[in-house]
Structure 1
Amino acid sequence: MSSLGQRIREARKQLGMTQAQLAEPDLTKGFISLVETGRARPSLKSLEQIAQRLGKSVSSFLEDGEPAAGRDLAVVLKQGEAALRQRRWSEAVRTFQAAAEVTGDAPPAARAALQVGWGEALLHQGQMRHAQERLTEGLQQAREARAPEETARALRGLGLIELQHGRLPQAIEHLRPAARALEEGRLEARHLHASTLIALGRAYGRAGQQDEALGCVRQALDLLETTANLAALSRAYLDSGIALHANGQRERALVHLQRAVDVLELVESQHLLAGARQHMAVILLERGAIDEALPHLYESLRLRERLGGTASPAATLIELARAHLARRDPARAESYVGEAMIHLKKEDEPATRARAQAVLGLIRRQQGKVAEAIMLLEKAARQLARLDLPLDLAGVYHDLGRIHADRDDQAKAAGAYRRALEALRSADTLGGLGRLSSLP
């Protein structure tokens, strides 16, 4: 049974092509050598480039000698991994769900990669419970298959879930071995290693272990500055910016996100660029800098609309609604929420749907429809509680507290504020304080 690398080598030899010629224009001779000897596995994009240079289809390199189920799964897994890298979470979930239907007698490592990738996509969608189920199963399969990178990714995902819930010892217990495994792994996982170190640093920092936290951040930054992979560099800057924001460090977060934007404009990654601009806008809105935030949101929306069905603009539309609500323009804010809800009918994004309900509640408050505002915010709170999103939940309860206080219902106001603080404590972070609504 020939391997992927052997099949590429045979096809290259048949054409009388050197490794350097096959690598042109975007790859390197060294990378081709690693692929052919089985020491590296190309990404879907790299495999497409190699196949094009050799005048063959991608599937032709995944056929000879492989069971049909394993062959089909390999193709679908590569598509899912590509969607993950570009942060197309809904597409990734759909792809991994499809892959689950063709596992058959696929190799254990491939089944582990399926569960881990699926879990990562669900995690980014905010579906914490389902993500934990997939990642736990993926971790068990990865360990049985002795697949170090899938093991590290599963540990990282489980660590991020524990961090989200504020369970710091458990988060460190998962993230520390994940970082160690990635440090010993291949060069292509460098951005993932840096992102894991940033998360581990956050966990250490919240646990009061500042020396360990600082060490993780320094190591992550060293990785960021030395990588020659611009795409990996941009993803790591984006991840670090999001992490710094979650830890309440807005100014540093903006610096890292701006660096991500600068690099992403060079590599023309529109999916990631839209996400980076949107997150910058969220931070600027928290600072009250509405005029600075709006250009980022409009550009993010433009990019997502250009990408069409592969990138839902719903989350960006919700942030635009927040911005116009802060300008006391509830009519325009409601129009953006309406557009978002149209997209959400076609997308499985429960967290974004809950946030839309919350913003609609704030719109009703500005319109003087207080009873409807309370109903919508309470509905959003129930959805966010089911999704285990404590920071968003704290913001909704804070808004409910303000509404009840305005109505001079001190008992209900106190109850809502107490729940907001409980949600923040469950996340064990002060970074969420900046997310509490400051809307009039």
Structure 2
Amino acid sequence: MPKPTRRSEPPGPQGPSGIGQRVLRLRTERRLTQRELAEPQYTAAYISTLESGKVRPSETALRYLAERLGVSYEELRTGQPVRLATEVRMRLTDARQAFCEGSLRDAAQRYTQLEREAQRLGMPSERAAALVGLGDCALEAGDLDQAIEHFHAAEQLLADAPLPQRVPALRGRAVAHLLAGDLRYSCYLLENAIDGLNTAGLHDPNALLLLYSAVIAPYMDMGAQARAARAAELALALAPQATDPALVARMHRGVARTLLAEGRTADADASLARAQELYQQLQIRTELAHCHWMRGYLRAQEGDLTQAEAELRTARAVLAERQATLYTVQVNVELADVLRRQGRYGAAEQLLSDLLGELGSGRGAVHAGGAHRLLGLIAEERDRPEQAEEHYRAALDLLEQAGATGDIADLCRLLGDLLRRTGRVEAALDVYRTGLGHRTPPGTTTLGPAPADPPL
């Protein structure tokens, strides 16, 4: 996937020529000379160069000139009245609310209209926000290629903007790559952005909280538990400075995963409860479903299979209603594990077989591997060793492609034990060696150095 590149000066109303023409028109209408407009902060020569379109004024210069000409900064920068910009931003807020509470189709239609309108009006920041919204819709619908395309287009529009403004688009692209099974690239995108913010001194709590919350999942899937725990620790430290409650709720959901990995189920439950409380206040239905999903997993870990099934079915109902197909099938993997542990093999096997058509190496690879692993366990428990081996090997291929080293060692143990029980000792030893190669000390990873910490 190509990286965002810096663009040349934009043509049209927001380019140097368009801004210069507006300054010339407004100055002439107000019967000001170039010197009268410029002084005391600038020179007449500078105004002349600006009006001829040979220089792009800084934000400071634009704000100074806007005040002297009696117009708003936005109107001078874009050529559009403030009323239009305000209206577009209000409609973006409405579209986001539709995304949280309504149907994906309705939200996508609103974002599409806004993206076209913002392009027509020459409003790149608002157009980028609409593209991020479209990316979120595509992400939830499971159209990962489309999501990556939208997020990448938003990053390109904001190529000249400060890094904090690009973070939502960049985070969205990283999550899409994670769901597609490209864990390493997802980590690369997020860690680069974290390093970019921290080393440049761009201490934006909202942007950093968004990034640290997002990087927990790929860290956990890659077996880098120490890095995941550190990201959770930094996210918790940043939360009091964040101004967006949705970001804080997402942080609590991510932190809960690291707490579960450490066996701190009570703390994880409390973190999920806090996230659920915030999401209920904000009426963000998909994120509420994710909370039920994680609480179902937590209850299963505690052995309360009845409550686990209830939580997972609640999550699945909400996600299916929103047509969030990829997330729905991922919940079904967790639900199938609960059904298997309840001894309901037929129902679990049918559920897993049905969903494997929706998952694969380029779409939910980690959960596809989990589905094959569960089918292998069911086959073993039903005395079908050949079928079990087939599923274990399919799971191993998927997890190796995705780089999900956190699960490979356990899978190699299952496959090795199966081979040993069926008399293939040498083959079992080979599989055990493969698993030992992936069982690195907790927290180590083949990634580069950990990103710099923020100046807390």
Shorter-chain TM-score category? 0.5 to 0.7
Alignment pair present for 1:184 and 2:235: no
Give the 3 Å change call, closer, same or farther, for CA 285–403 of structure 1 in structure 2. farther
Give the 3 Å change call, closer, same or farther, for CA 179–410 of structure 1 in structure 2. farther
Displacement of 1:312 in angstroms is 3.9
Alignment pair present for 1:381 and 2:396: yes
| Aligned residues of 2:118 and 2:127 also touching (Cα < 8 A) | no
What is residue 206 of structure 1 aligned with on the other side?
Answer: 226
1:166-193 superposed Cα distances (whole Å, 9 cap, x missing partner): xxxxxxxxx55545668622x6436326
What is residue 148 of structure 2 aligned with on the other side?
Answer: 96
Higher RCO, 1 or 2 (CA under 8 Å, sep at least 6)? Answer: 2
What is residue 349 of structure 2 aligned with on the other side?
Answer: 334
Displacement of 1:316 in angstroms is 0.9
Of 176, 183, 201, which aligns to 1:128? 183
| Aligned residues of 2:252 and 2:271 also touching (Cα < 8 A) | yes
Aligned CA RMSD, in angstroms, stands at: 4.8
| Aligned residues of 1:179 and 1:196 also touching (Cα < 8 A) | no
Aligned residue pair count:
355
What is residue 45 of structure 1 aligned with on the other side?
Answer: 96
Displacement of 1:105 in angstroms is 8.9
| Aligned residues of 1:191 and 1:235 also touching (Cα < 8 A) | no
| Aligned residues of 2:275 and 2:291 also touching (Cα < 8 A) | yes
The amino acid of 1:63's aligned partner reads Q
Mean CA deviation greater in 238-247 or 337-346:
337-346
Of 109, 113, 118, which aligns to 2:173? 118
1:363-378 aligned within 5 A = 363-378=378-393
Please, what TM-score do these two structures have when normalized by structure 2? Answer: 0.62
Find the residue that maps to 1:328 and give its secondary structure: coil
Find the residue that maps to 2:391 and give its secondary structure: helix
Displacement of 1:89 in angstroms is 7.7
Of 251, 272, 291, which aligns to 1:257? 272
Of structures 1 and 2, the larger Rg is shown by 2
Give the 3 Å change call, closer, same or farther, for CA 349–105 of structure 1 in structure 2. closer
The amino acid of 1:12's aligned partner reads R
2: distance between equivalents of 1:181 and 1:339? Answer: 49
Alignment pair present for 1:58 and 2:58: no
1:196-248 superposed Cα distances (whole Å, 9 cap, x missing partner): 7979x9999838xx9xx5xx766533433464533122111111112333455
Please, what TM-score do these two structures have when normalized by structure 1? Answer: 0.64
Of 431, 434, 453, which aligns to 1:419? 434
What is residue 290 of structure 2 aligned with on the other side?
Answer: 275
Displacement of 1:11 in angstroms is 4.9
Give the 3 Å change call, closer, same or farther, for CA 368–4 of structure 1 in structure 2. farther
| Aligned residues of 1:395 and 1:420 also touching (Cα < 8 A) | yes
2: distance between equivalents of 1:338 and 1:373? Answer: 14
Mean CA deviation greater in 219-228 or 248-257:
219-228
Alignment pair present for 1:266 and 2:321: no
Alignment pair present for 1:12 and 2:83: yes
2: distance between equivalents of 1:104 and 1:184? Answer: 20
The amino acid of 1:155's aligned partner reads N
Find the residue that maps to 1:313 and give its secondary structure: helix
Structure 2 unpaired stretches of 5+: 1-12, 15-71, 100-112, 446-456
Structure 1 unpaired stretches of 5+: 23-31, 49-56, 136-152, 157-174, 431-440
1:294-332 superposed Cα distances (whole Å, 9 cap, x missing partner): 111111111111111565411111111111111222111
1:360-414 superposed Cα distances (whole Å, 9 cap, x missing partner): 1112112211111111101210121111001222232122133234446554444
Displacement of 1:273 in angstroms is 1.9
Give the 3 Å change call, closer, same or farther, for CA 311–407 of structure 1 in structure 2. closer
Mean CA deviation greater in 242-251 or 364-373:
242-251
Give the 3 Å change call, closer, same or farther, for CA 407–258 of structure 1 in structure 2. farther
Alignment pair present for 1:195 and 2:213: yes
Give the 3 Å change call, closer, same or farther, for CA 287–232 of structure 1 in structure 2. same
2: distance between equivalents of 1:96 and 1:72? Answer: 18
What is residue 5 of structure 2 aligned with on the other side?
Answer: none
Alignment pair present for 1:108 and 2:159: yes
Could you tell me the percent identity over the aligned residues?
A: 16
